Amino acid sequence: MLSMYKVFVIGFFAVCSGNNFSGNRNNVCRTFKDYATISTNPNCFYNPDVGAHPSIIAQRYGYPFEKYKVVSKDGYITSMYRIPNNNKDLSKKRIPVILQHGIAITSAAWMLNGKKSIAFYLSDQGFDVWLPNGRGTEFSTEHVNLTTQSPKYWDFSFHEMGIYDLPAIIDFVAQNTGQKGNIIYIGHSMGTTMSFVYASLLPDHAKENLKGIISLAPIAYLRNIRSVVKFAVPFADIIGNLLENLGIHSVGNVYSLSRQLVSSACIMYPLIIPCEISNIFLTGLSFGQVSPETIPVILSHYPTGTSIKTLKHFAQLYNSHGKFRLFNYQRQENLNHYNSELPPDYPVEQIKVPVTLFVGRSDFLSSVDDVQVLFNRLRGPKSMQVMNENGKYEYAHNDYVIGRQTTLFRKDLLNTLRNL
């Protein structure tokens, strides 16, 4: 999604803007230019999804909503939501689908596209939809004995989310649905990374519980990214270590301030245009996908908390020149952790669950070449779909969850789900 750098660059303008999402005033517009006169423009209107909790969004569109808490082996408490049905065909037994969001956002990511959102679409297609919130995000800040004020709380990356959170989440869904072995996992961005960690290091657990893994914008091997983020990652360890030495172990966890800084500036005209341009340079460009009226909805839920260690781990993947491997603690600490000077690679060839990879040629973070490397190393049942092959459609990194043109992708997604 948007870069943390942007939060600080536009912060001054945000504080001065006075824009907010309170009341029932116009908060979205149909074109970028309309934002110049948002308060009086007839092409602008009030969208109650802006800043709303996922439960409110779901219920507004007529879906039941349930809340659960899941405790992982290392003590983190994940909040998980559920849309069990669409208030129709209540006697029908539904296949459970776990939707795992990406970095710096919550499960709301699957609901930010209005009635067309993937969470609602899958519910309408007869699936039992489960929505975990990653550790450290706004809705998952609890631990059995740590608080977010403790540096130890933030000592995790996507590795721990994969080996601790996902098994706990999957066990919980299996126990509460009675459908062990029939669960489908759909991840986006970091949600895919977590699944590759989980299914490669715990292949038997994955095989026993999952029917398949579907990966949207897969992130594992990061040698060929085109995003501007590649200019910063060579310095990530230095910056990360400096922040940690200063007692800063997370970013984005001061939720209200972070969002006010980003959203207040980025719904002002003309700043909304450079905000979107910077997002394009970060995640990719696909014509016709970005809806101006969706941007305030997204920004009201982004960013949320993540650990510095997670960002460092992703940077290490890029700096490793094509390795998908465990966290690099440097030589001596690696010897203590791994009995090796270098961290081991994740054994993706050990994954036994069918894996389907969706990748777009307009994605600046998840490149076709890098996903091809992952595909070639998988040894179990697998398939790979490139989004604009055969004249179909182009997708950038986030278009799976917020793209305007979704008909063809969802048809392919549904076919994949039904063929697992």
Rg of the chain (C-alpha set): 20
Query: Other CB atoms closer than 10 Å to residue 47's CB: what's the count?
Result: 18
Q: Over the chain, what is the mean pLDDT?
A: 88
Query: Residue 42: its pLDDT value, please?
Result: 96
Active site residue 345: no
Token output for 287: 């014509």
Query: Residue 234: its pLDDT value, please?
Result: 77
Q: 262: burial class by Cβ within 10 Å (0-12, 13-18, 19+)?
A: buried
Query: Residue 299: its pLDDT value, please?
Result: 86
**Helix, strand or coil, per DSSP, at residue 227:** coil
At what angle are helices 308-319 and 236-245 packed, to 10 degrees? 160
Query: Residue 17: its pLDDT value, please?
Result: 37
44-45/382-386 β-pairing: unpaired
> What mean pLDDT do residues 337-365 have?
96
C-beta of residue 109 within 8 angstroms of C-beta of residue 403: no
Q: Which residue has the tokens 């779909």?
A: 385
Q: Which fold has domain 47-253+304-419?
A: Rossmann fold (3.40.50)
Query: Other CB atoms closer than 10 Å to residue 372's CB: what's the count?
Result: 16
Active site residue 286: no
pLDDT tens digits for range 386-412 = 876 555 667 889 999 988 877 888 999
**Sign for the pseudo-dihedral over CA of 281, 157, 130, 388:** positive
Query: Residue 352: its pLDDT value, please?
Result: 98
- For residue 161, give the DSSP letter: I
The share of the chain scoring above pLDDT 90, in percent, equals 67
Which of 34, 363, 370, 399 is the catalytic position?
Answer: 363
Q: DSSP labels for 320-360?
A: TTS--BS----HHHHHHHHSSSSPPBP-GGG--S-EEEEE-
Active site residue 189: yes
pLDDT for residue 219 is more than 90: yes
pLDDT for residue 54 is more than 50: yes
> Containing H/E element for 194?
helix 190-201
Which of 3, 189, 258, 286 is the catalytic position?
Answer: 189
Can you give the length of the chain in residues? 420
pLDDT for residue 369 is more than 70: yes
Q: Which residue has the tokens 């050990």?
A: 350
> What mean pLDDT do residues 21-31 have?
80
Range in 8-22, 24-38, 151-165 the model is least confident about:
8-22
Residue 122 bridge partners (DSSP): none
Closest by CA position to 210, among listed 381, 415, 387: 381
Residue 95 bridge partners (DSSP): 127
**Confidence bin at 136 (pLDDT 50/70/90):** very high
pLDDT tens digits for range 75-96 = 999 999 999 999 988 888 999 9
* Alpha helix (H) residue ranges in 23-152: 54-60, 118-124
Domain boundaries, the chain: 47-253+304-419
- For residue 303, give the DSSP letter: -
pLDDT for residue 19 is more than 50: no
- For residue 149, give the DSSP letter: T
Which of 72, 313, 397, 399 is the catalytic position?
Answer: 397
Q: How many CA atoms lie within 13 A of 298 on its CB side?
A: 22
Q: 247: burial class by Cβ within 10 Å (0-12, 13-18, 19+)?
A: exposed
C-beta of residue 90 within 8 angstroms of C-beta of residue 145: no
Farthest CA pair distance, the chain: 65
Rounded CA gap, 106 and 135, in Å? 10
pLDDT for residue 18 is more than 50: no
Query: Residue 4: its pLDDT value, please?
Result: 38
